[in-house]
Structure formats: C-alpha cells, structure tokens
Amino acid sequence: MKIEICRKEFIDFIQFEKRASNNTLLAYSNDLFQFVNYLDTVYEIKSITEVGHTIIRSWVVSLVEQKISSRSINRKITTLKSFYKFLIRQNIILEDPMLKILSPKVPKRLPSFIEKDKMDTLLDDTFFGDDFEGIRNKLIIEVFYATGIRLSELINLKQSNVDLYLCQIKVLGKRNKERIIPFNTILKEQIQQYIILKADVKNEFFFINKNGKKLYEKFIYRLVKTYLSQITSAKKKSPHVLRHSFATHMLNNGADLNAIKELLGHTSLAATQIYTHNTVEKLKSIHKQAHPKG
C-alpha cells in the first residue's frame, strides 16, 4: 500500500476514533509528513512495505545531524511507533520495524525554582493590595509555595476541601488520587481573611474572581508570571516553578524525600529525586565559594 494512503488513514484514525487533541493531531501530522517526505526524497520509496528498520534509522540519524533536539526526535519516534502499531492492526504490514529503533537519551533538566530570599521579598505585603483581589492574589501565591500543589489542583480546590480546624487541604490530583496537605497557622490566618471577603458568594470553588466565578488556568498563569517578574529575571515564571520552589526549599531545610513525594502527589520516588540535584548543585556552589581550593 502507498505510504501516503497509510498516513491519511492513520491521521483519520487518531482524529475520529481516538479523538486526539488538535495539538496532538498537528504534531502527528507534521512528524509523518516529514517522514514520508524523507522517504520520497532520499529513497524514492512509495510503498510502506519497502520501509525497513535500517531506513527508519537513517531518518533518525539525519534528524540528529540536523541538530534536532533529543526531545523532538523522541516525539517523532513515538509518532512512528503509533503509526506502525496501527498498520499492524490493519494487517497492512506483518512485522514492526520500530522494535529495532532506539530513542536518543534526553538530558535531564534541573527543575527551575525561586531562591528563598526572593520568595520572602515577594510575599511582603508591599506587592499586594488590601482589597479582595490583592488578598486573593497573595493567597494564591502563598498556597502554591506553601503546599506545592499543581495549577489544576488549585483551580479545582473546593471550599469543602479546606479544613481550617485541622489546618489542611484535601487535593484531588492526577488519576483522581486524593492527598492531604497541611499548612501553617500563618497561612490559616490569610485563608480566614480571604473567606470573610468572599462569604456572600455562593460558589463551591475556593478561588474565585470578583464576580464570583471560578478562575481559569490562563488567568492564574498570568497572575503568577506578573508577580514573579517583580523579583526574578528567570525565564520560567509559572505556577510549576512555585511547586519546584516548595520542594527544593523543603529538601534544603532537611525534609525527608519520601515526605516530599507524598506532599507533591508523585507516584514514585524517582520523580521526586530530581530535586536532590538542585541541592547538590547548591552544595557545589557553596564549596566553590568557601573552600580555598574550590
């Protein structure tokens, strides 16, 4: 069967049967277009049965030579894996050439975080007003930094999930997994102040706008970016950076890694261990500055 026909059938499959998002659909379409174009240009191949693992490997090598990032190459390989699984299910091919294709290693990125002294500066009242929006905005920053919750978790936090008596919040995380996160008395006082200001509003969600409506992700993202821009020139200024800051500062202050794992809602310790790299980097920096042979 012609490769172009296979490509179109696969795209139709993920669009109409898998109901993939527009972003996923666009990525798959672009990746396969580049692959098909490579086969036509370099090998003049038209039939899918002519494509073996050595040819696919040559495409991967060409991407590396073009200095395409490992992450982008891995995404393209993932696209091809899905494509060939589809072809096998449709009985268009009998063997999967992708089984012999290895993905390039992706260098680990250290999580970005804000230094503690800068967070202390930001959480000074001078950056926030004393009206409803000012108090709410500060509380949003405080909750991100004090609990390490995700953006989606904060937006969907409900009034009933905030327990002032026990000083804890119940969060619904990924895969609908619930977890309990404690908070201190200082944050409790700020929450109480915010609750008083929104007392007349009937909305099950905890964080709302001045019209009593639930907040949305882009609003929170812009809010966090605006405030972080006042204290740091770092490229990344997002709610997730505050989550990274929470975990990094907890670890630097001696918190147990397993405890941080539970607070963050990670399913495995491996996901949490990346924060130890930031701690090691800090130790290296201190050693270099303080040791005579540093």
Question: Which of 226, 144, 140 is CA-nearest to residue 191?
Answer: 140
254 sits in the region (left: phi over 0; alpha: psi -120 to 50; else beta) called: left
Give the burial class of 170: count Cβ atoms within 10 A of its Cβ; 0-12 exposed, 13-18 middle, 19 or more buried. Answer: middle
Among candidate residues 243, 244, 249, 261, the one labeled active-site is 243
- Based on the residue annotation, tell me whether 222 is a catalytic residue of this protein: no
pLDDT at residue 267 in the model:
86
Q: How many CB atoms lie within 10 A of CB 183?
A: 20
- Based on the residue annotation, tell me whether 243 is a catalytic residue of this protein: yes
Name residue, tokens 């999930």.
161
Render pLDDT for 193-217 as a digit per residue (tens, 0 to 9): 999 999 888 899 999 999 999 999 9
287 band by pLDDT with thresholds 50, 70 and 90: very low
Instruction: Give mean pLDDT, residues 7-32.
Output: 91
Query: Could you tell me the pTM of the whole model?
Result: 0.65
- Based on the residue annotation, tell me whether 57 is a catalytic residue of this protein: no
Helix segments in 157-238, DSSP class H: 185-197, 217-228
- Based on the residue annotation, tell me whether 275 is a catalytic residue of this protein: yes
Instruction: Give mean pLDDT, residues 174-190.
Output: 92
User: What is the share, in percent, of the chain residues with pLDDT greater than 90?
Assistant: 69
Contact 104, 73 (CB under 8 A): yes
Among candidate residues 7, 136, 138, 150, the one labeled active-site is 150
- The full set of domains in the chain, from first to last, is 3-100 (1.10.150.130), 116-290 (1.10.443.10)
